[in-house]
Chains A and B, each alone.
Chain A
Amino acid sequence: MNSEKLNLLWLHGLTCCGNTQSFLCAEEPLLSSFLRKVNLIYHPAISEEEELEVKVRAILNGDIKLDVLVLEGAVPKGESDKTYKLDGMSLSELVLKLSSLADYTVALGNCAVYGNIPALKEKNVSGLQYRFKEKGGILGKDFRSKSGMPVINISGCPAHPEWFIGVILSIASGKRILLDSYGRPKEFYAYYTHDGCMRNQYYEWKVEAESMGTKEGCLFYNFGCRGPMTKSSCNRILWNGVSSKTRSGQPCFGCTEFDFPRANLWETKYNMGIPAELPEGVSLRGYIMVSGIAKTFAPDRLKRRLIDEGE
């Protein structure tokens, strides 16, 4: 075993495994670089080692140093935890033990970060350090790993592979990782989904998409786009290297935030003609003034199709 590699153990909680699949979609050479710098001591779907017990015992007796613990999926606590028993430990007990030994603990995807869909109807299910908005989760709000960092939350349903690999490579090279108030690396979550969206001009001039299935128009006004309220790099680091939700005509559903999935995902709620939720930091008065002017002066070219038979 190459001792310079990061020892990384990946666990599954209640999950669709979408973050594993997303991880496998990483663009080259990132995936190779990850595999070169990381010793994947166990991963339920892709590692050579199949016996989790063997690795866990070795970590618990100190034979293997655990550098990074990655959890994908939400975790049931106490009574409701029927997931599995490993040497008599339930998943939540296992997570507690391993996170106390690991230098870094990473929650990958919205289930591991906030509980997400599996937590919707189960009070006992939560993320590692959050349950939706509430801080606490399985590890408690004061949790710090050996490195001194709280859980590094890589939110998203799923998380983009480059956000995850980016964080792991930063850990491998000993760089500092700055986190936002939800424990998410600022490097990737200082941005909004709105940043880099191809529809920005339509947003600025308040030109709304009247129907779905067109390149033109902003989806904020009619179709519930959460782009300006959602922290993500979806339109900066494209999905599968090629596109994003808003680029393919879907509104942003806010899947990197604690309140995903909200109700009425395809609709914009209005209060007296003004969107009930405004982009973060924008005042009602400011919005009314700016949008009134924008609408009045919106250039005609934004009201036509981008590519058609005309000149």
Chain B
Amino acid sequence: MKVSKKLLTRLEGEAELKLFWQGEKIKDAYISVPNYRGFERILVGKPVMDALVINPRICGICGHAHLRATVEAIEDSLKRAGYEVTITEKARLFRDITLSLEIIQNHLRWFYLYLMPDVVKLKPSLRERFAPLKGSGWQEGVRASNYATKALATLAGQWPHSSYMVPGGVTCDPTEADINKVEALVERVVDFFEEKLAGIEIQSYMSMSGAKLIREVKGDILSFFEACFEHGLDSVGRSYGRFLTGGTIDPCVVPGTKSKRICKFHPERVYELGNYSFFSKNGRGYTWAKAARYGGVPCETGPLARQLIAKNPRVVSLYKKYGDSVLVRVFARLDEILTLSLSVLDKLRSVDLSQRSCIAPPKEVKSVSGEGIGVVEAARGTLIHKISVSRGKIKFYDVITPTVWNLGPRDDVYLGVAEKAMIGLDSELKAYTVLRSFDVCSVCTSH
């Protein structure tokens, strides 16, 4: 059997893809993540508040989501230990706003910097716009992503690696002028979406779905759609069709699971399997990631899952026709740039700066014991942090990243979600594009 191996770059970190061919078709695929830093071990014995500084460093592109998951896990442990933790509406809005901005930033960089350079190889006429470093799309995409990072930093001090969320709220105390600046920056993101991505007015874009949307959309989304239809990306990339969203970003993201219908999400059904990861030491391991399962089965997480579960009409209509193909998975991510930006604008308008930013929990929490969980949405999907604290020191820490769901290994019954999506493909290039459609982040996958 022919075997091909490639170290994939142009993503967050590096990942190795090993493909087994039977004739012209991919028979099996292994995704392996070679680098491991060991955050969960490093955290053991540390004072609990230090996790707010260490954990964002798990990932350079979604560190803010790790911060949010950390603060929620700590707050949950305090609540379960009997302390009252209240956060003001203002602090809650800021947490949602900055998390959304990080996701927006990610989606823009991912599309222009990581995904499209591969699509260019399928369709060389797109080169001028989408070539790395030189293409106008590349440069405009970076610039647009920085409206979001600048807006984020206006509230959170800096991006990457802010630690501005703390138990009881946030550390920042912005002025009205700061809020206006954030609003102006987010409006620029919406403009960019309108002018460059959708190429049509937002109102009419939002009013369309299904075939009409495909017919009328323009801009870079159209370029991507055309490449999909020419190269069959509207039909490949399908996995199990089972989706999961654990976190909430009011009102655009709600928790739930979906296969045939949408059900409630129960965090206690989540667990990890390590029998094909290097941790197991049984000789079968091929990656530093574990496999995440929900009630025993693999699930896809991320923008496609989020938008299907939140019943976004555009994404639902395309999913009906094209399933969980590359086309729909990528579209869901792009569409989220708009829905999240619009909700950030709404939230900015309702922030009341006279409320307190932080209501610090009582001093003795520094020596509290207990357990907590934080479930949030990161750019690539559901991120879960579990903490166990003994007299203020971390006893145990577990991080289940979105990419563990999507890019984690197989178990004895099921292939990993992205592995499954590559079976049966007839070209390496398509396999890379399918893999990229999940938005690969190897640093999170292994952490």
Contacts and interface: CB of A to CB of B under 8 A. Distances in A.
Contacts of B145: 24
15 contacts: A16-B58, A18-B161, A28-B143, A44-B9, A47-B133, A83-B34, A121-B42, A211-B358, A239-B159, A240-B150, A245-B163, A249-B157, A249-B172, A264-B47, A266-B50
Interface string A135-164: 000000000000000000000011000000
A160 to B, nearest CB: 9
B281 to A, nearest CB: 14
Contacts of B163: 245, 250, 253
Given A17-B60, A24-B109, A307-B175, A213 B357 contact: yes
Of listed A24, A31, A118, A261, residue having the most chain B CB within 10 A: A24
Interface in A231-245: 234, 239-245
Contacts of A25: 146, 149-150, 159-160
Given A240-B159, A266-B49, A118 B133 contact: no
A215 B357 CA distance: 10
A20 B60 contact: yes
Interface string B45-57: 0110110111001
Of listed A12, A44, A255, A307, residue having the most chain B CB within 10 A: A44
A247 interface: yes
A158 B37 contact: no
A212 B166 contact: yes
Interface string A12-29: 101111111110110010
A15 B158 contact: no
Contact of A158 (B131, B134, B161): B161
Contacts of A298: none
A193 B54 CA distance: 19
Interface string A245-260: 1111110010100000
Interface stretch (B11-19, B230-238, B245-253, B263-271): B11-19
A212 B109 CA distance: 33
B153 A240 contact: yes
Nearest to B353: A307
B116 interface: no
A244 B11 contact: no
A261 B50 contact: yes
B153 A242 contact: yes
A18 B160 contact: yes
A214 B42 contact: no
Interface in A201-231: 211-215
Interface string B142-185: 11011001101111111111111010111111010000010000
Contacts of B155: 248
Q: Is the interface of A mostly helix, strand, loop or mixed?
A: loop
B60 A158 contact: yes
Given A83-B34, A250-B171, A16 B63 contact: yes
B243 interface: no
B360 to A, nearest CB: 5
B46 to A, nearest CB: 6
A294 interface: no
Contacts of B7: 52, 84
Contacts of A20: 60
B14 A84 contact: yes
Interface in A1-42: 12, 14-22, 24-25, 28, 31-32, 35, 40
A50 interface: yes
B59 interface: yes
A46 interface: yes
Interface string A109-132: 000000001101110000000000
Interface residues of B, number: 70
B141 to A, nearest CB: 10
Interface of B: 7, 9-14, 34-35, 37-39, 41-42, 46-47, 49-50, 52-54, 57-61, 63, 91, 109, 113-114, 117, 131-134, 139, 142-143, 145-146, 149-150, 152-164, 166, 168-173, 175, 181, 356-358, 360, 443
A282 interface: no
A248 B358 CA distance: 12
Of listed B52, B152, B157, B175, residue having the most chain A CB within 10 A: B157
A171 interface: no
A76 to B, nearest CB: 9
A45 interface: yes
A241 B143 CA distance: 13
Given A16-B57, A158-B60, A263-B47, A239 B34 contact: no
A82 interface: yes
B118 to A, nearest CB: 10
Nearest to B185: A242
Contact of A249 (B37, B58, B357): B357
B156 A248 contact: yes
Given A16-B59, A24-B109, 18 more contacts: A14-B35, A24-B113, A24-B145, A25-B160, A47-B10, A48-B134, A84-B34, A117-B57, A214-B173, A239-B153, A240-B158, A243-B156, A243-B158, A248-B157, A248-B162, A261-B50, A263-B50, A265-B53
Contact of A213 (B12, B42, B139, B173): B173
A213 B53 contact: no
Contact of A21 (B60, B154, B181, B358): B60
Contacts of A244: 157-158
